[in-house]
Amino acid sequence: MYTNLLEQPGVNALVVNFRDITDQKIAAEAVLQSESRFSTIFDNSPVGISITRVSDNRLVDVNRAWLTAWGMSAKRVIGRTVLEFGLWAFSDDGKRLIGEVNSKSRVLDFETVFFRKSGEKRNVILSVEKVIINEEPTMLIQVFDITDRKLAAEMLRKSQESLEAVQSIAHLGSWDLDPNRSGGMFWSKEMYRLFNRDPKQGVPELEEFLALIHPNDRQVLLDAQQTAIESGSLVHVEYRAFPTEGELRYFKAGLQSVRDEHGQHLYMSGTVLDVTDSRILELELQERVKELTCLFSISRVLEDRDKPVESVCNEILEALEPAMQFSYLAAPVLELDGVQYVTNRFAERLSHGLQAVIEVNGKVRGEVCFYYTEDVPFSIPEERDMLTNIARMLGQWLEQRETEAAVRAAQNELEELNRDLERRVEERTSEVRHNEAVYRALFENSNDGIFLLSPVGKDMSANNQALKMLGYTLEEYQQLTRNDLNAVAAPVQKDDADERFAAVIRGEHVPLYERTFIGKNGKRVDVEINLSPVRDASGNIILVQSVARDISERKKAEQALHDSRDKLSIANAALEKASRLKDEFLASMSHELRTPLTSILGLSEALQLKTYRTLR
């Protein structure tokens, strides 16, 4: 509304002008609502969206999804180009996109690679459209991260390649039959290979496929499909087919009805496995089982060495006949030592056959034969091998039979020799036992200690006197000498003890020697040792025997004697000194006494001679 004061002579008035702005208000309100909706969509969109000025390619705004996706803050990116902060993995892609936008105004599905702030590469698709915002040309850019989708697609591709490789290795094809889908039927690559069909020809129609199936198996296959549809369960069926004219192949199929959530049939899915090789092996295995059964039956017959030859030959023919692959065209014959054994099937017209010679101790004694009709002159290697084995088994049976006869002829003589040998062995065993008993008695009851040990110084044993001498039990002694055979020797004597033991092992004579043992409680025992080897019949040393005689008392007596001799020497020296003193004393006394006695003796003699007158 506009108002104006009208100023004219004689007129006093106010002029008011009105303009209807309802549409303008509505339009403005609509713009505000549109901007609000755009702002809401922009901020809350899960897709990263940026707005870039066309004039300088600088970012005007980005939404939260965009910032989250690339790990950046609005402060860092607003007002800068994406090239400045290294978002583009390939800068040429950015320049190319700007060029396309300038020329087209709209670019869809532009694929490139962006860098996250962490440096991680992400595959993206960009959709760009020019828009006017605040009367300024801008580009609205949506960024769709397709990295996971591309990874999934790559994994799917590799999975498909792996599946095709596995199917090729296993000769396993797969197919789908969906009447509601374009084409109706899908075949895997392996299906085309199994049925020798060029993939360019496409999947055959049902009638064309059934034409490849063996006539006797077509209805079987259709019935299996119907059963799978009706039951909803997996159905297996085997059938024969002619992928190539004249080539019969065996297939094993699995058929499954794929159903919706309500259990309604949607389409058929299945697999086809080429089992031709296994079927052929199975048929061959059946033949080999027949042959092995035949050989096993014949081996059981040949277990009895006493059975008459005629019975053995007839039983071999009975076992052999059902093992022949074409028994209705042939008959087995066995000839041995000029006698021919045949079955009821044999006829003179059966003249074309296989033969295997029967040899006994290098001499030909007969043959085993298969005779076929003249108009079927073929050779079966497996049957030839079977005949060879039967002829060999029969030859071995005859050899063993004749050998056993010869063995029985010599058995009595051998038994007599055995009895004589047993008697001698028994006598020798009794003698050995007696000697062992004597030695054991001597060993256990000897007054001397006896030690026994192996040539390597292990497995030591000792008699009761030896253990009593040392004060050990046998277990204690063996434990003590487990790592040192001279553990009871005085430390200063161990090297000498080891050398003497080694000398015995070398075959040298070791004379008697004395040794000091250290007993359990440190008791010292003086012993005299006789170290000698024990040899077997071949002269090999099997044991070393050490006989230790306790000479402690003798050593004491010798010491006492030595001590007595020392005392006697001292006493003798004292006696000699006393004797010398006595002699000196007597000599002195003799001189002292002799002088007055001489006068006395002279006077006595004079008195006796009356040389002087009588004293009064």
Model confidence pLDDT, tens digit, residues 216-263: 999 999 999 899 989 989 999 999 999 888 788 999 999 999 888 888
Report pLDDT digits (tens) over 523-551: 888 888 888 888 887 888 888 888 888 88
Highest average pLDDT, of 151-155, 194-198, 425-429, comes from 194-198
Angle in degrees, CA 432, 438, 443, rounded to 5: 120
310-331: average pLDDT: 82
Q: Radius of gyration (Cα) for the chain, nearest Å?
A: 64
Beta-carbon contacts of 198 under 8 Å, excluding residues fewer than 6 positions away, are 192
Interatomic CA distance for residues 362 and 355, integer angstroms: 17
Helices 276-301 and 381-445 cross at an angle (nearest 10°) of 60
Specify the pLDDT at position 405. Answer: 84
Range in 331-345, 391-405, 589-603 with the lowest mean pLDDT: 589-603
pTM of the model as a whole:
0.39
User: If we measure between CA atoms, which residue out of 493, 549, 545, 560 comes closest to residue 525?
Assistant: 549
Confidence category of residue 9, pLDDT binned at 50, 70, 90:
low
Residue positions counted in the chain = 616
Q: How far apart are CA 63 and CA 70, in angstroms?
A: 11
pLDDT-based confidence at residue 379 (cuts at 50, 70, 90): low
Inter-residue long-range contacts of 161-167, CB under 8 Å, 24+ positions, other chains counted: 163/188, 164/188, 164/189, 164/190
Q: What are phi and psi for residue 55, nearest 5 degrees? A: -65, -40
Residue with tokens 């430390």: 491
- Given this model, what pLDDT does residue 539 score? 85
Strands (E), 343-404: 352-360, 363-372
pLDDT one-digit tens code per residue, 48-97: 888 888 888 888 888 888 888 888 888 888 888 877 777 787 878 888 88
Could you tell me the pLDDT band of residue 616, with boundaries at 50, 70 and 90?
Answer: very low
